Amino acid sequence: MRLVAVTSCPTGIAHTYMAAEALSEAAKAAGHEMEVETQGAAGATPLDPAVIAAADAVVFAADVEVRDRDRFAGKPLVTAGVKDGINRAPELIAQAVQQAEAAPSGSTATEPVPAAATTEQHAGFGTQLRGWLMTGVSYMIPFVAAGGILIALAFVIGGAEISTKVDGGVFEGTEYPGIPNLSDVLGEAGVAGLMYAIGSTAFSMLVPILAGFIAYAMADRLGLVPGIVAGLLAVEIGAGFLGGLAGGLLAGAVVLAMKRVNVPRALEGITPIVLIPLLSTLIVGAVMIVVIGEPIASAQTALTDWLDGLSGTNSVLLGLLLGAMMAVDMGGPVNKVAYTFGLASLASGELTIMAAVMAAGMTPPLACALATVLRPKLFTDVERKAGETAWLLGASFITEGAIPFAAADPARVIPPLVAGSATAGGLSMAFGATSRAPHGGIWVVGVIGSPLLYIVAILAGVAVGTVGILALKAQRGPVEADPEVAAVEPAAAPVAHRAAAAH
């Protein structure tokens, strides 16, 4: 395997070269070729762009910003401090190899950024932000794929009642007690129940992994704890993936700031091990709960009251509105209000609202999937792979299938998806389609009233969403390489109704 590395340190006379030597030796020992660029006081001889282009993975062992890091955009990347380059060189090499192997085959062959372009492109904040988000998304996608497909298959095998059987609740007039002891799930709900339980668990990690690895991309390993905790809290307070995204960015920023603080010598040793994890987690957690959680809860109450006031007025308008809400945050607070509203209507025997909500929740992943097929060049490799799974997830009313797309590029993805879902919701109401099932998507078409028109509504929503995404993305132009994604096996995308549905 061919590897490249950059080493740098504050003074540039010792660690830079020690790390370079240690990495070279470790690479050689493991049977790989490696070239190292030492950005030190003896001057840096930049790596030949051809060498970078041919490299399978990149290692940064650096305590100061790597110069011209855009040259390495799109390569599987391992970042570490310069001391790790010295003390743990074989481990870093192994990680780089692992990432190269996990990376989509396309990314290793990405075209090098022409040398002339590197100076101008010097990572603006937008590029950096995109890189952070993509790192989080790429780590999240396998969870989306594993969890989403398991849940979808559970519905296919077990029917629409499978989630109610496992979680408890009322379905079609039958009350299920739920399965409090998970080890009974196979006996009580069968293989489908087992798959649903496993899939739900994988799904519950979506937002924590997204938030954790956004923070990791920003602040390295120290970012993981506050990031993951922020994600868990985002789920807990119902803030959804947008809350997780904000929490991850906040966690990364807090840790970065703390790393810059000069601490007294006596505390130096425990700073990275105890002080930063402790304080950053406390601060980020408090912000999530107090600053974000409180307003979300009251806003949800207000939204619900408002919706209650609207029911009985113009039903198409209500469908448009609920549809838009489903796509705004895909599993977040607004989605949850809309979904809960659908559930409540279902319980009171009003079946059209549930149908509209479900149509609107199916649209986003389908629109994303279709967009990746129509204009693949507008998407990164990771996104295209996510698109493949998004078909199944959308069809199964697992809105989370669109999260990888929305998290990676919110401004260009969310508005079109909202428009598409509003279309689907409005049309579903206009057609008077009904649903007796609270989830299951296309697999519960048997309990849908006016199924053909219902599918028309969904397809129309998909068309609106797809066209909108393509139009906005085309404005930006095709993506080149993914900005330094810490690459992982890209896979799929799941959805949101689980978070919405379960409560």
Partner 1 sequence: MSTIITPELVDLDLPSADRAAATRALAQRLADAGRVTDVEGFLADVAAREEQMPTGLEGGIGIPHARSPHVAVPTLAFGRSAAGVDFGASDGPAHLVFLIAAPASGDADHMTILATLARRLVHASFRETLLAAEDPEVAAAFITQEVGS
Interface pick for partner 1 out of 14, 182, 191, 289 (rule CB under 8 A)? 14
Please say whether the beta carbons of 304 and 344 come within 8 A: no
SS3 (DSSP) at 449: strand
CA-to-CA dists, residue 271 to 6, 86, 265, angstroms? 26, 20, 10
What's the rounded Cα separation, in Å, for the pair 342 and 351? 8
In the bound state with partner 1, the residue whose beta carbon lies nearer, of 93 and 424, is 93
Name the segment binding partner 1 (CB under 8 A); options: 19-27, 93-101, 103-111, 445-453: 19-27
Residue 87 found at the interface with partner 1 (CB under 8 A):
yes
Residue 98 found at the interface with partner 1 (CB under 8 A):
no
What's the rounded Cα separation, in Å, for the pair 149 and 154? 8
Residue 221 found at the interface with partner 1 (CB under 8 A):
no
Residue (of 406, 445, 488, 467) closest to 100 by Cα position:
488
Residue 8 found at the interface with partner 1 (CB under 8 A):
no
Interface pick for partner 1 out of 3, 6, 15, 139 (rule CB under 8 A)? 15
**Least CB distance to partner 1 at residue 215 (A):** 22
In the bound state with partner 1, the residue whose beta carbon lies nearer, of 83 and 221, is 83
Residue 471 found at the interface with partner 1 (CB under 8 A):
no
What's the rounded Cα separation, in Å, for the pair 445 and 477? 39
Residue (of 101, 105, 111, 97) closest to 49 by Cα position:
111
Residue 18 found at the interface with partner 1 (CB under 8 A):
yes
In the bound state with partner 1, the residue whose beta carbon lies nearer, of 126 and 265, is 265
> For 308-313, which contacts have Cβ atoms below 8 Å and span 24 or more sequence positions?
308/341, 311/345, 311/350, 311/353
In terms of Cβ atoms closer than 10 Å to its own Cβ (0-12, 13-18, 19+), residue 498 is: buried
Among 3, 4, 9, 369, which one carries the catalytic annotation? 9
Please say whether the beta carbons of 338 and 302 come within 8 A: no
- Helix 240-260 and helix 315-329, axial crossing angle in degrees, nearest 10: 30
Residue 12 found at the interface with partner 1 (CB under 8 A):
yes
Name the segment binding partner 1 (CB under 8 A); options: 81-89, 227-235, 387-395, 468-476: 81-89
In the bound state with partner 1, the residue whose beta carbon lies nearer, of 40 and 248, is 40
The two tokens of residue 256 are 């970065």
In the bound state with partner 1, the residue whose beta carbon lies nearer, of 47 and 353, is 47
Residue 195 found at the interface with partner 1 (CB under 8 A):
no
**Least CB distance to partner 1 at residue 217 (A):** 22
Instruction: Please enumerate in sequence order all residues whose Cβ is within 8 A of that of 256, keeping only pairs 6 or more positions apart, or say none.
Output: 218, 219
Please say whether the beta carbons of 155 and 441 come within 8 A: yes
Binding mask 247-276 for partner 1 (x = CB under 8 A): ---------------x--x--xx-------
In the bound state with partner 1, the residue whose beta carbon lies nearer, of 61 and 206, is 61
Q: Within 23-62, which residues bind partner 1 (CB under 8 A)?
A: 25, 38, 40-43
The two tokens of residue 318 are 């209500």
Please say whether the beta carbons of 245 and 407 come within 8 A: yes
Residue 13 found at the interface with partner 1 (CB under 8 A):
yes
9 is catalytic: yes
Angle value at C-alpha 439, between 391 and 416, nearest 5 degrees: 50
Binding mask 269-308 for partner 1 (x = CB under 8 A): x---------------------------------------
**Least CB distance to partner 1 at residue 88 (A):** 9
In the bound state with partner 1, the residue whose beta carbon lies nearer, of 3 and 18, is 18
Binding residues vs partner 1 (CB under 8 A): 10-18, 20-22, 25, 38, 40-43, 63, 83, 86-87, 262, 265, 268-269
Active site residues: 9
